[in-house]
Structure 1
Amino acid sequence: MTIYKVKDRETISSVSSSTGFTASKLTAFLQYAFIQAVGGDIRFAINGSTPSTSLGLRLLEDASVEVWGTEAMTNFRCIDDGGTATLEVVYMER
């Protein structure tokens, strides 16, 4: 069984325009980012495209998802889906 531990965390409070994870948080040994939408829904993409209020995967308020791998975390972008959402992020490493 693989054990993962918390490496870092952040709150992304400004998602009114397309934004990604803070680059300095994406260190060499990260495995995944655990994210949760708080205060509203968000749209996100992990393929380098720019999400909008009508494009991208939808993460409902208080729902969570894991973003696995260096490429997906580097390419991650999100935007508020019409409300006042923030994004809670926990970065996990081995």
Structure 2
Amino acid sequence: IGKNTLAEIVKHFEENGACPRAKKKHPQPRPPARFISPEHIDRVLEFIKNYAEDNAIMLPGRHPGHKDWHVKLLPTHVSKASAWRLYVKSAKEL
């Protein structure tokens, strides 16, 4: 890094301590453009768990590479896109 940048970092550290520097254009940190809220992530996980409980097949026996023996196999006739469409449809019904 350049000499001026290093001087600015040292000055900021001495004034504010160990905290991130704010950008000049946006003083308040903002989430990324494709930010997903934690509540939405929880709803998606709950949907996947419920879908797996209804449609998944439990694999018998122990499988190498998996510490959890409750491995479930989802049906292959359902693609990620069709599962997403099903999720969006069920979310609109709520």
Give the TM-score normalised by the residue count of structure 1: 0.22
Structure of greater Rg:
2
Higher strand content, 1 or 2: 1
Q: Which one scores higher on RCO, CA 8 angstroms, separation ≥ 6?
A: 1
Give the TM-score normalised by the residue count of structure 2: 0.22
Higher helix content, 1 or 2: 2
